[in-house]
Amino acid sequence: MNIRRFVACLCFLFATEFVAMASASADETLTMGVFAYRPDSVLQERYQPLTDYLSRETGISVRLEVLNQENMSRAIAANRLDFFLTNPSHFLLIRSERSLTGVLATLVRRSGQSSTGSLGGVIFTRAERDDIEQLADIRDKTIASPGVHFLGGYQTQVLELMDAGIDIRRVNLIRFMGTHDRVVRSVLSGYADVGFIRTSILEQMAQEDPDLFTKVKVLNRQRLAGFPYVVSTRLYPEWPLVALPHVNERAVRRIASALFAIEPEDEVALSVGISGFSPPADYQSVEYLARTLRVTPYDQVPQLTWVDALHQYRLWVFTILVLLMLLVALSLWLGKSKRQLAAEQRRLRQLIRGWPQAALLIRGGLFIDTNRASVDLLRYTSSESLVGKDLAVFSPEFQPDGQISRQKMAPMLARVSAGQVEQCEWVLNRSDGTEIWVELTMAPVHTEDEPEALILCSLYEITLRKHAEQRQRLAASVFEYAREAIFITDNHGIVIDANDAYLAITGRPRNRAIGRLPPLPVEEGSGIFASARSQGFWSGEFSSRRNDGEPITLSVTLSSVRGDHGEVSHFVGIFSDISRLKEQERKLRIMAHYDALTGMPNRVLFADRLQQGMALTRRQSGKLAVVYIDLDEFKPVNDAFGHEAGDQLLVEVAARMRSELRQEDTLARLGGDEFAAIVMNVQDDASLETLLVRLLARVAEPVWVADHSVEVSASIGYTLFPQAEDLDGDQLLRQADQAMYQAKHRGRNRYVRFSDPSS
């Protein structure tokens, strides 16, 4: 709006206001505005009787003013009107622009004998337009309408066509003609293809032009019984008569009462062409129509501000805000948890990957992840070699316990999947073919809601331990099963462990063996520990006694065991019972030196004794005699009474001879019936000969053998030592032997001293 128009408007408003106020206060003239929906003159002529009637009935001067919509709005804005009668759409527009007291009455229109309080729209075209038969044909046609704010002349038709699927406001050219009459004329003249007018217009115009209905064709004609006009749309209430707020209440009441008093047959009704006025109709259908079409005053959707929305939906907003806050808090918390979880996962992964012990993850029996240590353990280069395979692939066909690896693994996996933890020793094959012992631990690491079991399998190599165990077992079995007694003492020599052989040999029960000293040699005693400590070991044989007092001979080796710092921490002793060995040895020695029949020394021991006697004699500068004794007539005894009798005879004779000799003398049986004696410290020949005589006498005494008394004699030869020549034992014995032969020659039962034939 430019400045000039604005100023003009202001002046106009001011002027009219002043005039209206002046006239109202002067002689109480009320102005009734009537909307010029048809030419002004027609309406002026038609409604003049109404204002006249009202002036007459109420005593208030009522002036008629016929106005088009624009001027009426302006006049109302200027308070130049006190009442107005207009179509419902225009009324809604005015009502929205300023508050009104509302509708006083609704017009009831007359048509001939019938009347109606409803109006509708007419859609028509020229009768000869064969191309326009129904609503759908209007789509691309030019339309003539009196104006947007005409209910029956525009809005009803738009809604009807909209329902038929045509939005004419978009697709059609619409010419706004201002009044209904011009619409009819423009259609008839061909200026427009289709005309929109309200009901009753055609009927009114037909009064002047009786052929009108033959010239036009009404589209979408509604057959409504009792409705007096042709109509193309649904119906709405007729025009409202509205009082403006500034009119005083008394005047309004009087006007209303005058209006309702009009009867259809009254003159005023007839001349105005109405049946009268009815109580105000409900205009919500019109309002709904305007809202649907978004025409003024409902063309603008009220701007919904944030504050409005907030106000209206504060509960929702509050709820949503709270929910959002919860959501954000939850998201933050979730994010934090997720980060923590991720960090924990990383840590866990790092832990497993970096853990020096082999760890593998198993799903469905197959490795799905491995760490470096497991790859190294099996001597592969990368985890790809392991992933996707099962444990049995890396195991020998049989485990040490004889089970097939694969068969042994399956039930274990099943148990672990069921939630148990399994632990066992297992043998694996490395890539280079070597075998290793591992301690296998499998534990479920899946949660119950996970469909497939996830198992953590850790491998701990125990090959060295296994070997050590084997050695230890071997050592233990040596300890346990050795025939030799083995004992371990502390560094003071107190037994702390001993094997069964120890107990068996010593005859001590375990409780009397442990915590005591082991058997020790009588002479040295605990001294052997000192020897073992200083020399590293001690070994020897000694006699001891079993627990039950029986003597035993032990061969003992005692070793010191040194600790980490070189100090002696333990002693280990091994001994065996050599009593039987010693007895055997003693028996053998007797067998070698003594005659089995008589128990006298034999030739070997004789030679030995002779050697000793000679050495002793030489040292003492004394004399000794070697005597050779051979029994006479022994063979006949043997032949007559048997060998047993012979042997008895020999034993008896030997005992008799022995009894005649001194302790230091030696009597030996050289074989058969030959004996030899060594007589030490021979003082003189006489004493020697006395001895020899006694010997001969003792032998000659009868002997009772085999129930017979037998008599034998002996032939004795002897020699002395030392002699002029240096002689050895053999030579001496030979000399005695020769002398004995001399005695035999001289008639037996006598003694002869050796005399050198050469001398």
Question: CA nearest 247: which of 106, 49, 402, 82?
Answer: 82
In the complex, the smallest distance separating the C-beta of residue 65 from another protein, rounded to whole angstroms, is 28
Whose Cβ is closer to another protein: residue 235's or residue 247's?
235
In the complex, the smallest distance separating the C-beta of residue 154 from another protein, rounded to whole angstroms, is 17
In the complex, the smallest distance separating the C-beta of residue 316 from another protein, rounded to whole angstroms, is 7
In the complex, the smallest distance separating the C-beta of residue 277 from another protein, rounded to whole angstroms, is 15
The sheet carrying 194-198 orders its strands as 173-176, 142-145, 194-198, 121-126, 216-219
In the complex, the smallest distance separating the C-beta of residue 233 from another protein, rounded to whole angstroms, is 9
Whose Cβ is closer to another protein: residue 226's or residue 433's?
226
Q: What angle do CA 653, 658, 664 make, to 5 degrees?
A: 160
Q: What angle do CA 686, 690, 695 make, to 5 degrees?
A: 145
Question: Which amino acid does the sequence have at 738?
Answer: Q
In the complex, the smallest distance separating the C-beta of residue 83 from another protein, rounded to whole angstroms, is 23
Place of tokens 């280079």: 432
CB-based burial label for 548 (10 Å; 0-12, 13-18, 19+): exposed
Whose Cβ is closer to another protein: residue 235's or residue 610's?
235
CA–centroid distance for 516 within its chain: 58
Whose Cβ is closer to another protein: residue 72's or residue 105's?
105
| Terminal-residue alpha carbon distance, the chain | 196
Q: What angle do CA 138, 142, 146 make, to 5 degrees?
A: 105
CB-based burial label for 715 (10 Å; 0-12, 13-18, 19+): buried
* 3-class DSSP assignment, residue 232: coil
Question: Which H or E run contains 429?
Answer: strand 422-429
In the complex, the smallest distance separating the C-beta of residue 48 from another protein, rounded to whole angstroms, is 28
d(CA 487, CA 501): 10
Whose Cβ is closer to another protein: residue 120's or residue 147's?
120
Q: By the 8 A CB rule, do 561 and 533 touch? A: no
d(CA 192, CA 147): 14
Q: Which residues, 6 or more positions from 282, have their beta carbon under 8 angstroms from its beta carbon? A: 237
d(CA 576, CA 5): 146
CA–centroid distance for 188 within its chain: 91
- b/e map of 368-400 (b: 16 or more CB within 10 Å)? ebbbbbbbebbebeebebbeeebbbebbeeebe
In the complex, the smallest distance separating the C-beta of residue 121 from another protein, rounded to whole angstroms, is 11
**Checking DSSP bridges between strand 173-176 and strand 142-145, what pairing results, if any?**
parallel
In the complex, the smallest distance separating the C-beta of residue 234 from another protein, rounded to whole angstroms, is 4
For the chain, what is the largest distance between any 2 Cα atoms, rounded to a whole number of angstroms?
Answer: 225
d(CA 364, CA 353): 21
* Residues at the contact surface with another protein, assessed by CB under 8 A: 117-118, 120, 163, 222-227, 234-237, 281-282, 284-285, 288, 313, 316
Whose Cβ is closer to another protein: residue 223's or residue 643's?
223
In the complex, the smallest distance separating the C-beta of residue 171 from another protein, rounded to whole angstroms, is 21
Cis peptide before 245 (omega within 30 of 0): no
How far apart, in Å, are the Cα atoms of 361 and each of 389, 407, 411? Answer: 11, 20, 18
- DSSP codes, 500-565: HHHHHHH---HHHHTTSPPP--TTTTTHHHHHHHHHSEEEEEEEEE-TTS-EEEEEEEEEEEE-TT
CB-based burial label for 630 (10 Å; 0-12, 13-18, 19+): buried
**Checking DSSP bridges between strand 366-370 and strand 358-363, what pairing results, if any?**
antiparallel
In the complex, the smallest distance separating the C-beta of residue 199 from another protein, rounded to whole angstroms, is 11
Please count the other Cβ atoms lying within 10 Å of the Cβ belonging to residue 600.
Answer: 24
How many residues make up the chain in this entry?
Answer: 759
Question: Which amino acid does the sequence have at 410?
Answer: A
Both structure tokens of 353: 């990957």
In the complex, the smallest distance separating the C-beta of residue 269 from another protein, rounded to whole angstroms, is 19
In the complex, the smallest distance separating the C-beta of residue 170 from another protein, rounded to whole angstroms, is 21
Place of tokens 């070793």: 559
Whose Cβ is closer to another protein: residue 1's or residue 225's?
225
CB-based burial label for 142 (10 Å; 0-12, 13-18, 19+): middle
Q: Return the HEC string of 573-616.
A: EEEEECHHHHHHHHHHHHHHHECCCCCCECHHHHHHHHHHHHHH
Phi and psi of 562, rounded to 5°?
-100, 145
